[in-house]
Amino acid sequence: MLQSKQQSMAWLLRYLRPVSGRLGILLLLLLASTGVQLVNPQIVQRFIDTAAGSGVVSSLLTLAGTYLILAALNQLLTVAVSYLGNDVSWRSTNLLRGDLLKHCLRLDMRFHNVKTPGEMIERIDGDVTHMSNFFSMFIIKVIGSFVLLAGILGFMFTINWPIAAVMTLFTFASIGAMVFIRDMGVKSSKDERGASAALFGFIEERIAGIEDVQANGNVPYVMNRFYRAMRNVFLKGRKAWMLRVVPWNTTVVLFAVAVTAVLLLGVHYYLNEKISLGTLFLIYQYTQMLNDPIEQLGDQVQEFQKAKSGIMRSQELLGSRSEIAEGTRTALPEGPLGLEFEHVHFSYTPDKPVLHDITFTVRPGERLGIIGRTGSGKSSLSRVLLRLYNIGSGAIRVGGVDIRELSLSALYRRVGMVTQDVQLFDGSLRDNLTLFDGSISDSYILETTERLGLKQWIDSQPEGLDTHLKAGGSSLSAGEAQLFALTRVFLTQPSLVILDEPSSRLDAATEAMLQTAVDQLMTHCTGIVIAHRLSTLEQVDHIMVLGDGRILEFGEREKLAKDPASHYAQLLITGREEDLA
Ligand SMILES: Nc1ncnc2c1ncn2[C@@H]1O[C@H](COP(=O)(O)OP(=O)(O)OP(=O)(O)O)[C@@H](O)[C@H]1O
């Protein structure tokens, strides 16, 4: 328990340290504002007593002027505190948002498969936003409130100790109640955040699948689920809110009792001429002022509950480890890289094996075509090669090095993958082609696109490489998307390329263009092609046929073509490209 508190504190300090200077200034400004607030009622007291004693107009004017100047100064200080508080809050929470995003991007696919993007947005932004006030103001406001409380009570003891004693009793009772119930709303606040993340996940998922939702007339069903998710957020939110406002309500009741007691005592002393009218006013003012820091502490207890649930969720997220442990080796042989799979077994879930005992070798510079029915494990094979998942047993070697011993950056620098789905990012055409790598020159991009057949498309764009593209990929046709993806990988000059061909039919001209681009891409590297067209297979050296995650056939293309019993020869005879799927 103590250790977890220390960890939370150390964790919090990590994000507050970079803004410690600003926090210091914030504290000073708050103390100055507290001082002004404490002094102002005393000026009013003097004003009343001077006026009641038929004092000189000039001293009344001086007192009124001082009051006004201090009131204006206090306003300025309040604005400065608010500005700096927001500044500190944004700086510190953005550091945390950055850490969370970086961490999520490194987590393995098993983690991401069960989390929707909407839920992740809530965790990276929503939870952190809930902590923003805590980051910027919690420490400052708690310190400020205690200083103000100490100031008020200290002054009160110099004025009238029985009244000061009642006020002190009330203050301790309020703070005690808040400390006692401060954790009451933490769990329900955490549940509320969870429900909210689930709602965002749901909305994101349905909007991403809008075509299917509309085409299948699924809107009423989606709305029904949406209302249920909303209801869950509402119920959890209401419970969390009720548990959070309990401390506040407790102080409101205590405060009403304290004000009554203090005023009764004050009037009693005034009627007995033990205190002046000005002092009675001062006592009244200080009693009212006492409400502020106590209410502030109550608010901060609520903020603490909200923040603690966010901190717990963020720490949980940061504590989740990727199953992909990086290796340290960075050196791979120059030139095209060979590939070996040795008795590789793999499954997504323990109960359903996907790859069984896969063993094959591709020598540097060779091309391997992989075919197999839908679900036979073709994509899974490329995913394990790119370390999106860990294999269960066996070994995969690239350039003779086990990929588990390689650093991920070394692997991705030399191994490229062209997928069927091209993801576009919000940015220029150039950035989308280079994936934001500023070291690739425009002339190299244009030369490459010319070679791969994408130049015409780029020239048709209004501002060439500077054309702004929108996120997604819907602005590209299937053929363009494939050319785009090929160009992207080509620009990185890989030594081993995995190409997942589009399974959709393309027109003859686009197919020819694609074939030229693939040939160009694979001239200087080893190639693994998940083939969907017979023409592609003509260009490969070896063919592997997968079925139910096992190798059904593996051999040199020419030999298989001559063997009438082979799967490939059968394909050539029937010409049924759909059997390649
Ligand atoms: N993320 C996943 N979680 C669980 N099972 C999965 C996952 N992805 C694929 N599978 C399962 O693994 C098996 C192999 O899928 P894989 O995508 O590798 O097949 P494929 O040969 O590439 O199929 P296609 O040609 O249709 O893309 C299938 O039974 C599939 O249902």
Cβ-in-10-Å burial (0-12, 13-18, 19+) of 388 comes to middle
Q: Which of 113, 346, 370, 376 to mutate to test the pocket of ligand 1 (most atoms within 8 A of CB)?
A: 376
Residue with the bigger pLDDT between 297 and 73: it is 73
d(CA 440, CA 429): 13
CATH class of the domain at 12-319: mainly alpha
CA–CA distance from 416 to each of 203, 267, 280, 570 (Å)? 33, 84, 81, 31
Q: Sorting pLDDT into bands at 50, 70 and 90, what band is 579?
A: low
Q: Residue 200 Cα, ligand 1 centroid: separation in angstroms? A: 27
For residue 338, the model assigns a pLDDT of 93
Residue with the bigger pLDDT between 232 and 207: it is 232
* Tokens 């109550």 -> residue: 298
Give the domain ranges of the chain.
Answer: 12-319, 339-422+476-580
Atom of ligand 1 nearest to the CA of 109: 1
CB-ligand 1 contact for 474 (6 Å cutoff) = no
The predicted-structure confidence for 317-336, as pLDDT tens digits, reads as follows 888 888 788 888 888 888 89
Q: Which of 108, 116, 354, 530 to mutate to test the pocket of ligand 1 (most atoms within 8 A of CB)?
A: 354
Tokens of 360: 């094959």
* Closest C-alpha among 486, 511, 496 to residue 577: 511
Tell me if residue 361 falls in helix, strand or coil. strand
For residue 7, the model assigns a pLDDT of 62
Q: Which of 108, 109, 380 to mutate to test the pocket of ligand 1 (most atoms within 8 A of CB)?
A: 380
Atom of ligand 1 nearest to the CA of 372: 21
CB-ligand 1 contact for 114 (6 Å cutoff) = no
Q: Is 12-319's fold the same as 339-422+476-580's? A: no
Residue with the bigger pLDDT between 103 and 452: it is 103
Q: Which of 115, 352, 370, 379 to mutate to test the pocket of ligand 1 (most atoms within 8 A of CB)?
A: 379
- Provide the whole-model pTM: 0.66
Q: Which residues contact 98 (CB under 8 A, 6 or more apart)?
A: none
CB-ligand 1 contact for 54 (6 Å cutoff) = no
Q: Which residues contact 354 (CB under 8 A, 6 or more apart)?
A: 346, 347, 348, 377, 380, 549
Q: Which of 378, 529, 550, 578 to mutate to test the pocket of ligand 1 (most atoms within 8 A of CB)?
A: 378
CB-ligand 1 contact for 372 (6 Å cutoff) = yes
CB-ligand 1 contact for 40 (6 Å cutoff) = no
Q: Residue 380 Cα, ligand 1 centroid: separation in angstroms? A: 6
* Closest C-alpha among 95, 3, 1, 9 to residue 308: 9
Protein residue closest via CA to atom 7 of ligand 1: 348
For residue 1, the model assigns a pLDDT of 47
DSSP string for residues in 306-336: HHHHHHHHHHHHHHPPPS-----B----SSS
What's the 3-state SS for 12-57? HHHHHHHHHHHHHHHHHHHHHHHHHHHHHHHHHHHHHHHHHCCCCH
Q: Is the pLDDT of residue 5 over 60?
A: no
Q: Sorting pLDDT into bands at 50, 70 and 90, what band is 6?
A: low
Q: Is the pLDDT of residue 313 over 60?
A: yes
Q: Residue 415 Cα, ligand 1 centroid: separation in angstroms? A: 21
Answer yes or no: are the C-beta atoms of 170 and 253 closer than 8 Å: no
CB-ligand 1 contact for 390 (6 Å cutoff) = no
CB-ligand 1 contact for 111 (6 Å cutoff) = no
User: What architecture is the 339-422+476-580 domain classified under in CATH?
Assistant: 3-Layer(aba) Sandwich (3.40)
CB-ligand 1 contact for 399 (6 Å cutoff) = no
Residue with the bigger pLDDT between 209 and 551: it is 551
CB-ligand 1 contact for 376 (6 Å cutoff) = yes
Q: How far is CA 562 from the centre of its chain?
A: 55
H/E element, 133: helix 127-133
Protein residue closest via CA to atom 24 of ligand 1: 374
CA–CA distance from 336 to each of 120, 333, 400, 489, 496 (Å)? 38, 8, 12, 15, 6
For residue 490, the model assigns a pLDDT of 84
Radius of gyration of the chain (CA): 35
Find the mean pLDDT for residues 528-546: 86
Q: Residue 375 Cα, ligand 1 centroid: separation in angstroms? A: 5
The predicted-structure confidence for 176-190, as pLDDT tens digits, reads as follows 877 777 677 778 888
What's the 3-state SS for 473-495? CCCCCHHHHHHHHHHHHHHCCCC
The percentage of residues in the chain with a pLDDT greater than 70, rounded to a whole number, is 93
Answer yes or no: are the C-beta atoms of 48 and 278 closer than 8 Å: yes
DSSP character at residue 466: G
Protein residue closest via CA to atom 26 of ligand 1: 374
Find the mean pLDDT for residues 128-150: 78
